[in-house]
A and B are shown apart, each in its own frame.
Chain A
Amino acid sequence: MSETLIIRLSLYGIAALGATLVLGCLRRFPLGFIGTVGVGAYTAAVTQMVAGYPWAFCLAAGAVAGALFGALPGIFDEGLVGDEYAVLSWMMAIAAYETISMLEVTGGQHSLIGIPPLFAGAVGLRNTAYLYAGSFAVILALLMAFRRSQAYDQARLAGLNPRTLAQSGQSPRAVSLKIHLLAGALGGLAGALWGPAYRSLHPSQFRLTESIVILLVCLVGGQGEPLGVLVGLLLIFLVPTLVDFSAAAPSLSGFSAALGMRPPDDSAVASSLYQAFLGGVLVVVLLFGRRGVIPALRRAANRLGGADD
């Protein structure tokens, strides 16, 4: 596996670990989760490039900014029903995107280039890949431990039955806010690591399609399942590498020509087909495999062991 693919998997993995908390614990659909990643990425990059702080401080600044941004939908979470939350989260992401595109310090509509890498030299990319994969593994392990804790059960209760949680003396709103902060911090951290990996940032890297990729990773693996993120990453990022989308380009171009239109070039067709594939997988997963791989495996194991689901 190449270093660039490991970096990509780790970045999406850390962000997906944050998103799966909101999905699994709170039963909310953070459609605009990419907003936390974008806010974290630009906060860290600007802190480093303009203020010149050390990168560890900048990563922390990115995570904090992501946490604060991620907490915003949590403030209004209380009275929102299903799709209202998804819409609010998405609109927040649009607001973040437009604000980033408008500011001078972020480069506006242009790329913010010249972000220093974490490691210089010939082995810099390999070290970065190791660091990112290690960070993802540590966060994954921590969240798997969190999943077995009482705090996780409380968080799930805040999503499933807030009234029962309130009756036990806990504030569902406070629990929801904590989960939002944690999820946002992970999104922000993924964003903060984004800049040093690619050396540049552009607002278009943080659009709705990227949010869909992150959420798809969570849905395929199983909502609220940290291990499911790993499974989702492998399925969403590695399976498409086995499919040659450019093979379909000639027949599509022929169809366009038959309609009297000028067909786009093959690489653009392949890229569009990959995006369409992701959208299609999202629909198929929602229609036929809503629970995801890990819960399905767990159920199968329970059946084999003779236990109840």
Chain B
Amino acid sequence: MSLDSLYALLYDGFVLGGKIALAAIPYLLVYKYLMMLNFAFGEVMTFGAYASYLLLEKASWPIVPVIVATVLLTALLGVVIELVAYRPVIDADDRHLPLVTSVGVSIVLQNLYQALFGSRVIYADRLNLSPFWLFASLGGALVVVLGILTLTPLGQQIAAVASNRRLSMVMGIRPGLVYSSVFALASGIAALAGMFEMADNGIAPTMGFQLGLLAFAAAVLARLKSLPAAIAWAFVIGIAIQFAQARTVLNDQILWVILVLAALLSAARSRLRARKRRVLAGEDRGR
């Protein structure tokens, strides 16, 4: 492999990693603060892509209002989904309930896109977003998220609800408002990820699913806790995919290798955690 092609692969890997990182932020935000895995973010990204396509190509709006309107519309969708589908189950004792509900929401949205727009890939000719804008958006999203979480009263409320929901209610915080705010913020960022994916690969009803899977893998590898770790893993995954595809050893199958590795790592960590708990409790009988 020549040095030029190596640089080209690294560059493409960084660009893909940037998109995965942008898409991973919503997963991480919602899990870290609401303890919920929302599989429907892939379809929320797709909504952002279709909305921006319609505003840009069909309504002929200029690019900046399109971005603002798309982010706001997608944030609104996120809030509606949270209110209708997730609010009744988000505090359920069965931790798989919110996750499975989000799978249901994902299936509904994906098939509605398919019924409305068909399964063919649509390209937005007027949308030309260079990698500079991708990294600017990633940086902007991080600044906004960290700014809200650390500098605003809403950030304090989010931290309080995440730490102890009942105690936060005693302090006058309304958890419902916090849930909706987190979903609005996460969905707005997902809209940006959807737009960048559309600019590169066009839109199809399932477009958000694959990017969502990669973003989810990055978030899982970061133990669904650390934003910097998720972003680092996103770049590792992006570069790994580019190299795997260039070498044609694994090609598309690199996706499941990454996912299974992420799942097994997570499962192994959980087993270790359980074993530690048993050892600390003096209950390990050498099983």
Enumerate chain A interface residues (CB-CB to B < 8 A): 27-29, 31, 76, 78-88, 91-92, 94-95, 97-99, 102, 171, 173, 208-209, 212, 215, 252, 255-256, 259-264, 268-269, 272-273, 275-276, 278-280, 282-283, 286-287, 290
- Residues of B128-168 at the interface with A, using a CB-CB cut-off of 8 Å, are none
Selected contact of A261 from candidates B103, B107, B117, B267, CB within 8 Å: B117
Contact code string B78-99 (vs A, CB < 8 Å = 1, else 0): 0000000100110000111111
- Whether B263 and A87, one on each chain, are in contact in the complex, defined by CB atoms closer than 8 angstroms, is yes
* Interfacial chain B residues near A287, Cβ < 8 Å: 85, 88-89, 101
* Interfacial chain A residues near B116, Cβ < 8 Å: 252, 255-256, 259, 261, 263
Contact code string B6-43 (vs A, CB < 8 Å = 1, else 0): 00000000000000000000000000000001000000
Interface of A is mostly: helix
Cα–Cα, bound, A164→B69 (Å): 55
Nearest B residue (CB) for A279: B107
* Interfacial chain B residues near A208, Cβ < 8 Å: 103, 107
Interface membership of B114, Cβ < 8 A: yes
30 A-B pairs with CB atoms under 8 Å apart are A29-B96, A31-B99, A76-B267, A79-B273, A79-B275, A80-B270, A85-B96, A86-B96, A86-B100, A92-B260, A94-B259, A95-B256, A95-B260, A98-B253, A98-B255, A98-B256, A102-B253, A252-B115, A260-B54, A263-B116, A268-B119, A269-B115, A272-B111, A273-B111, A273-B115, A276-B112, A279-B108, A286-B101, A287-B85, A290-B97
How distant is A179 from chain B, measured CB to nearest CB, in Å? 17
- Whether A279 and B115, one on each chain, are in contact in the complex, defined by CB atoms closer than 8 angstroms, is no
How distant is B32 from chain A, measured CB to nearest CB, in Å? 14
Selected contact of B103 from candidates A85, A94, A212, CB within 8 Å: A212
Cα–Cα, bound, A245→B266 (Å): 41
Most buried by B among A88, A273, A279: A279
Cα–Cα, bound, A208→B104 (Å): 11
Selected contact of A31 from candidates B100, B114, B118, CB within 8 Å: B100
- Whether B267 and A84, one on each chain, are in contact in the complex, defined by CB atoms closer than 8 angstroms, is yes
> If the complex has contacts A282-B100, A283-B101, A286-B100, are A272 and B115 also in contact, measured as CB distance less than 8 A?
yes
How distant is B86 from chain A, measured CB to nearest CB, in Å? 10
Interface membership of B246, Cβ < 8 A: no
Number of A-B residue pairs having CB atoms within 8 Å of each other in the complex: 157
Cα–Cα, bound, A282→B106 (Å): 11
Nearest A residue (CB) for B36: A83
- Whether A275 and B111, one on each chain, are in contact in the complex, defined by CB atoms closer than 8 angstroms, is yes
Nearest B residue (CB) for A248: B115
- Whether A91 and B260, one on each chain, are in contact in the complex, defined by CB atoms closer than 8 angstroms, is yes
Nearest B residue (CB) for A211: B103
Interface membership of B105, Cβ < 8 A: yes
* Interfacial chain B residues near A278, Cβ < 8 Å: 107
Cα–Cα, bound, A88→B272 (Å): 16
Ordered nearest first, which 5 A-B pairs have the shortest CB separation? A82-B95, A279-B107, A79-B274, A264-B118, A282-B104
Interface membership of B204, Cβ < 8 A: no
- Whether A286 and B114, one on each chain, are in contact in the complex, defined by CB atoms closer than 8 angstroms, is no
* Interfacial chain B residues near A88, Cβ < 8 Å: 263-264, 266-267
Selected contact of B97 from candidates A78, A256, A286, CB within 8 Å: A286
* Interfacial chain A residues near B94, Cβ < 8 Å: 27, 82
Selected contact of A79 from candidates B106, B255, B272, CB within 8 Å: B272
Most buried by B among A85, A99, A173, A287: A287
> If the complex has contacts A79-B273, A92-B260, are A283 and B105 also in contact, measured as CB distance less than 8 A?
yes
Nearest A residue (CB) for B97: A286
Contact code string B204-234 (vs A, CB < 8 Å = 1, else 0): 0000000001000000100000000000000
- Whether A260 and B58, one on each chain, are in contact in the complex, defined by CB atoms closer than 8 angstroms, is yes
- Whether B267 and A29, one on each chain, are in contact in the complex, defined by CB atoms closer than 8 angstroms, is no
Interface membership of B126, Cβ < 8 A: no
- Whether A275 and B107, one on each chain, are in contact in the complex, defined by CB atoms closer than 8 angstroms, is yes
- Whether A212 and B96, one on each chain, are in contact in the complex, defined by CB atoms closer than 8 angstroms, is no
